[in-house]
Chain A
Amino acid sequence: MKTRLSVLSVLALSLGMLSPTHAQDDVGACLITKTDINPFFVKMKEGASAKAEELGVKLSTYAGKVDGDHETQVQAIETCIASGAKGILITASDTKAIVPVVQQARDAGLLVIALDTPLEPIDSADATFATDNFKAGELIGAWAAAQLGDKAADAKIAMLDLADSQPSVGVLRDQGFLQGFGIDLVDPNRWGDETDPRIIGNEVTAGNEEGGRTAMESLMIKDPGINVVYTINEPAAAGAYEALKAFGREDKVLIVSVDGGCPGVQNVAEGVIGATSQQYPLLMASLGVEAIAAWAADGTKPAPTEGLDFFDTGVSLVTDKPADGVESIDTTEGTERCWG
């Protein structure tokens, strides 16, 4: 009942906003991120704020308390509808459960754009601006295989994943890496079901240094001969490197990662990480704000990249040891474009 009322009032409000007396600076937009603790989302907020200021859009930002905090995001969308905003940019924590309230927002005339994390199904949002996480994984997988050359056939691979709930971003990167390396995925929607003996094991890291270290230690106990390490992000990679150092193996192992944050790129430059796939959160957010401004101005909706069901904001492999057949940028360029 309460929501029904608020939807009605919002409709009234947004009808009011359509009247020509309102200038461009009345366009409101909301940015809802998973948390405000991850530098990735902090950067996203910066990108959105800068673009909003440039276009005269009034941006409100919301964030869940921790990754997986679905309830706060629902409340944020409700608040946003009630505030009469023109559009919502969201990185959803629970990509399925958020769909009904996203639909409410769209019914109320808001443009909803999923940033970074696609909703399930992906067309629940008007558009998705994201990194192609599978491709990000594929790039580092192909790079690692090329670096090993013939030895790729008997590599020993450690997989340091995100969480046991297998969120889609973690699955896409993991499976992309394996695809790029040339390993049979079995079910591409799940990690850990592969039967290739080159995979020593999967462990979860929560995407931070402490988790990366402990997970790497466990896999080194399983097989001290590990020579390739896939990591979900660069903090986990830094933790894995510390563990390898304690085992005296840091020079014999290739670590690959995904993200392209500034400390991560610096770790590539210093040889801690072999290569990382860099993504562009700032671009996602600023494009998102532009799309909402365009929607508010003349009702145009953003179109997906050709051949994909989302708008690909791009990914580049950052490494100082380029491999044949894998396009990459060096750490100087990576540093210029890094976030966080």
Chain B
Amino acid sequence: MSDSTSANHVASFESHRSPLQQLQHFLHGAPAMVPVIILFVSVAVFGLIAGERFFTAFNLSLIIQQVTIIGILACAQTLIILTAGIDLSVAAIMVLASVVAGKFAVSMDVPIAIAILSGLAIGTLCGVINGLLVTALRLPPFIVTLGTWNVFFALNIWYSGSQSIRSQDIDKIAPLLKFFGERISIGGAVFTYGSFLMLALFLVVWFALNNTAWGRHVYAVGDDKEAAELAGIRTNRLLVSVYALAGFICGIGAWASIGRVGSVSPQSFYDANLDSITAVVIGGTSLFGGRGSILGALFGALIVGVFSSGLKIAGVDVLWQRFAIGCLIILAVGIDQWIRRVSA
């Protein structure tokens, strides 16, 4: 601001900035572009490093397949984080819902549609429990979901006997459970129905957040809960609805995960909750709530997918793959902070 002059000189403003500052200003105006840029840069870089095996339509579509489940969980996670909360239980909800749907359909001969609906209902119920604990008992979301993560996980292990339901048994009895694992190829690329489901979920939630009163209220509550209350938003009801929706999305994720994994696996996705938070954070959503785009989480998940695929194909030791993802998180949040410090 030191070089600010009269209003009619504003046009010449740009010339005083270094290219870096210009970039900073541009990104400040369009923060959602950051993950998009990181994604394209990382695809390009890995295309160079890992070579042609990385940069094929097939591998790029495989990355989308691989991030489907984390992407869906990140969609649910973004909703919670936008309200200045955090949900450590997303993956546990998903696995519990998948075990319920799988057990009902395969071991108990429940009609497949009812089994799937039961999975969705369990997911939603878990979300409602989280929401009620956060609002009615006024407990911090971190504590609530730290608790329910363990509770839901224990229920999952108890109910499943920690035994997987085999892919071959699902094929025989309830093939519809694996619906989202069906593949279609377009050119050299292969997509699963699950990939499309993930994209559709993001678009629907994006639309709801940006074009409905409910969506704007979510941002308002995350930004300043008391102000939102004073403005007439029934914040507790809204919060419960957000947690319920997140639980429902985890239920959908459960169905998709059976397609992805092939079997119902009570031991898979143990730390996918952290992966989902990673995707949200890399996608530029503020952990303090009220700021960020749901689509950022999609790009965040894709960035992690591109990194791990690229590093694997380049033959990097698994240990250093983990190291790189850690650096990526810090880098992404660092860039985000830098953009926010823009001086204009």
Taking the nearest CB of chain A, how far is it from the CB of B266, in angstroms? 7
Task: Flag if A242 contacts B167 (CB, 8 Å).
Answer: yes
The CA-CA distance from A270 to B168 in the complex, in Å, is 9
Q: Which of B1-9, B156-164, B328-336 contacts A (4 or more CB under 8 A)?
A: B156-164
Task: Flag if A222 contacts B157 (CB, 8 Å).
Answer: no
Which chain A residue lies CB-closest to B190?
Answer: A246
Which chain A residue lies CB-closest to B323?
Answer: A164
* Tier of interface size on chain A: 35 or more
User: Looking at the complex, which one of B54, B69, B166, B313 makes contact with A238 (CB distance below 8 Å)?
Assistant: B166
Task: Flag if A36 contacts B157 (CB, 8 Å).
Answer: yes
Task: Flag if A192 contacts B317 (CB, 8 Å).
Answer: yes
With A209-B263, A210-B268, A238-B262 in contact, is A221–B163 under 8 Å at CB? no
Taking the nearest CB of chain B, how far is it from the CB of A159, in angstroms? 11
With A164-B322, A201-B315, A209-B268 in contact, is A239–B262 under 8 Å at CB? yes
The reply on A132 being an interface residue by CB < 8 A is: no
Which chain B residue lies CB-closest to A40?
Answer: B162
Contacts of A241 in B (CB 8 A): 167, 262
User: Looking at the complex, which one of B62, B266, B312 makes contact with A37 (CB distance below 8 Å)?
Assistant: B266
The reply on B207 being an interface residue by CB < 8 A is: no
Task: Flag if B62 contacts A42 (CB, 8 Å).
Answer: no
Task: Flag if B268 contacts A208 (CB, 8 Å).
Answer: yes
With A210-B265, A270-B168 in contact, is A203–B163 under 8 Å at CB? no
Q: Which residues of A, 227-267, contact B by the 8 Å Cβ criterion?
A: 235, 238-239, 241-242, 245-246, 263, 266-267
The reply on A302 being an interface residue by CB < 8 A is: no
Task: Flag if B261 contacts A164 (CB, 8 Å).
Answer: no
The CA-CA distance from A96 to B309 in the complex, in Å, is 34
With A38-B162, A208-B267, A246-B183 in contact, is A221–B261 under 8 Å at CB? no
The CA-CA distance from A206 to B275 in the complex, in Å, is 15
The CA-CA distance from A36 to B158 in the complex, in Å, is 10
The reply on A211 being an interface residue by CB < 8 A is: yes
Contacts of A201 in B (CB 8 A): 312, 315
Contacts of A153 in B (CB 8 A): none
Taking the nearest CB of chain B, how far is it from the CB of A262, in angstroms? 8
Task: Flag if B164 contacts A209 (CB, 8 Å).
Answer: yes
The reply on B341 being an interface residue by CB < 8 A is: no
The CA-CA distance from A42 to B257 in the complex, in Å, is 25
The reply on B270 being an interface residue by CB < 8 A is: yes
Main secondary structure of the interface of A (DSSP, over half): helix
Taking the nearest CB of chain B, how far is it from the CB of A196, in angstroms? 15
The CA-CA distance from A42 to B53 in the complex, in Å, is 42
Contacts of A235 in B (CB 8 A): 164, 263, 265, 267
With A221-B62, A238-B167, A239-B261 in contact, is A210–B313 under 8 Å at CB? no
- Give per-residue flags for B245-276: 1 if the beta carbon is below 8 A from chain A beta carbons, else 0: 00000000000010011110111111000000
Contacts of A246 in B (CB 8 A): 183, 190
Q: Which of A122-130, A143-151, A212-220, A318-326 contacts B (4 or more CB under 8 A)?
A: A212-220
Task: Flag if B322 contacts A272 (CB, 8 Å).
Answer: no
Task: Flag if A263 contacts B166 (CB, 8 Å).
Answer: yes
Which chain A residue lies CB-closest to B53?
Answer: A221
Task: Flag if A242 contacts B168 (CB, 8 Å).
Answer: no
Task: Flag if A39 contacts B265 (CB, 8 Å).
Answer: no
The reply on A204 being an interface residue by CB < 8 A is: yes
Contacts of A39 in B (CB 8 A): 161-163
The reply on B135 being an interface residue by CB < 8 A is: no
With A38-B162, A222-B53, A239-B262 in contact, is A217–B66 under 8 Å at CB? yes
Task: Flag if A263 contacts B164 (CB, 8 Å).
Answer: yes
Taking the nearest CB of chain A, how far is it from the CB of B192, in angstroms? 9
With A218-B312, A221-B309 in contact, is A37–B267 under 8 Å at CB? yes
Contacts of B265 in A (CB 8 A): 208-210, 235, 239
The CA-CA distance from A238 to B265 in the complex, in Å, is 10
The CA-CA distance from A70 to B260 in the complex, in Å, is 32
The reply on A49 being an interface residue by CB < 8 A is: no
Contacts of A211 in B (CB 8 A): 268
Which chain B residue lies CB-closest to A218?
Answer: B312
Task: Flag if A266 contacts B66 (CB, 8 Å).
Answer: no
The CA-CA distance from A203 to B309 in the complex, in Å, is 11
Contacts of A272 in B (CB 8 A): 168
The reply on A202 being an interface residue by CB < 8 A is: yes
User: Looking at the complex, which one of B157, B163, B257, B319 makes contact with A263 (CB distance below 8 Å)?
Assistant: B163
Task: Flag if B164 contacts A221 (CB, 8 Å).
Answer: no
Taking the nearest CB of chain A, how far is it from the CB of B185, in angstroms? 11
Contacts of B200 in A (CB 8 A): none
The CA-CA distance from A222 to B164 in the complex, in Å, is 29
The reply on A167 being an interface residue by CB < 8 A is: no
Which chain A residue lies CB-closest to B163?
Answer: A39
The reply on B241 being an interface residue by CB < 8 A is: no
Q: Which residues of A, 1-59, contact B by the 8 Å Cβ criterion?
A: 36-39, 42
Q: Which residues of B, 83-133, contact A by the 8 Å Cβ criterion?
A: none
Task: Flag if B260 contacts A213 (CB, 8 Å).
Answer: yes
Task: Flag if A203 contacts B269 (CB, 8 Å).
Answer: no
A-B contact pairs, 16 of them (CB 8 A): A36-B162, A42-B161, A66-B270, A201-B312, A203-B312, A203-B318, A208-B265, A208-B267, A208-B268, A210-B257, A217-B65, A221-B59, A235-B164, A246-B183, A270-B168, A340-B163
Closest 7 CB pairs of A and B: A242-B262, A210-B268, A209-B265, A218-B312, A164-B318, A208-B268, A208-B267
Sample of 10 further A-B pairs with CB below 8 A, known A209-B261, A209-B268, A263-B163: A36-B157, A38-B162, A39-B162, A42-B162, A164-B322, A209-B263, A222-B312, A239-B261, A239-B263, A267-B166
